[in-house]
Amino acid sequence: MLKVENLHVSYGHIEVLKGISFTVEMGEIVALIGGNGAGKTTTLATVSGLLRPASGKIFWKGEVIHTTAVETIVAAGIAHCPEGRRIFPGLTVRENLLTGTASRSYKKSEVEDDLALVFELFPRLKERIKQGGWSLSGGEQQMLAIGRALMSRPNLLMLDEPSLGLAPIVIEQVFDKIVELNRRTGLGVLLVEQNSAMALEIAARAFVLETGTITLSGPSATLADDPRVREAYLGG
């Protein structure tokens, strides 16, 4: 479904992605793990069209998208939940969710159906529907960021560090929701995480990114047993 081919991305003269290739198949959860500054956020930003590659190709459902406008990429089915959630603190929960529909024109009834699905998945958001985004806990904000991404009816959800700044119990709740969402709707997930243990637990396959190069890849269970991964990312 998503195919990234020999992708090179630079900030000015500094090359941050040095020819990475990977795929995400329909309905699959794939994790991209790696340390600080490895290029994970850059990878997601390039797939979603916020950054343009110096060279390489990105295909989505067989079509080239690395030259496509951001809103067209969203409308084609790729949703990006950025690092730090970036919800709108001054808007209510409902208003935040509605910003996720901006990429295409929906009938009112379709929007209501999508809201109903989000509230079914995240009942806490329904309870807080009229509250300002600022008043939500970190975990609720993460749920809201995911809910907002779902409003564009994606086939692929890209999540950048959903565990960031959350307590362990809340991280578990967020990850349970990601799995539930994947199982119930068949949504593909590209998960960027520094919490490698959790990411490997829910992903079918994973890639290790080190200073702009994919150094290891394979089924998550195999990677979780790999001494290099255990040493560098799973605390030995």
Residues of this chain that interact with ligand ATP (CB under 6 A) are 11, 16, 34, 36-42, 194
How far apart (Å, rounded) are the C-alpha atoms in residues 144 and 38? Answer: 27
Nearest approach, Cβ of 38 to ligand ATP (angstroms)? 4
**Residue 40 or residue 128: which is nearer to ligand ATP going by CB?**
40
**Residue 40 or residue 177: which is nearer to ligand ATP going by CB?**
40
Nearest approach, Cβ of 32 to ligand ATP (angstroms)? 9
Which one, of 72, 76, 70, 46, lies nearest residue 58 by Cα?
A: 46
Take residue 30 and report the two structure tokens written for it.
């794939």
Sheet containing 55-60: which strands, arranged edge to edge? 14-24, 2-11, 55-60, 63-64
Take residue 218 and report the two structure tokens written for it.
């394979």
Nearest approach, Cβ of 161 to ligand ATP (angstroms)? 6
How far apart (Å, rounded) are the C-alpha atoms in residues 195 and 85? Answer: 16
**Residue 114 or residue 193: which is nearer to ligand ATP going by CB?**
193
Nearest approach, Cβ of 34 to ligand ATP (angstroms)? 6
**Residue 76 or residue 232: which is nearer to ligand ATP going by CB?**
232
Residue 192 makes CB contacts below 8 A (sequence gap 6+) with 31, 32, 33, 40, 41, 43, 44, 83, 158, 159, 160, 161
Q: Secondary structure of 119-179 in the HEC alphabet?
A: HHHCHHHHHCCCCEHHHCCHHHHHHHHHHHHHCCCCCEEEEECCCCCCCHHHHHHHHHHHH
Assign 199 to helix, strand or coil.
Answer: helix
**Residue 47 or residue 76: which is nearer to ligand ATP going by CB?**
47
Nearest approach, Cβ of 17 to ligand ATP (angstroms)? 8
Nearest approach, Cβ of 106 to ligand ATP (angstroms)? 32
Residue that the structure tokens 């809910």 belong to: 147
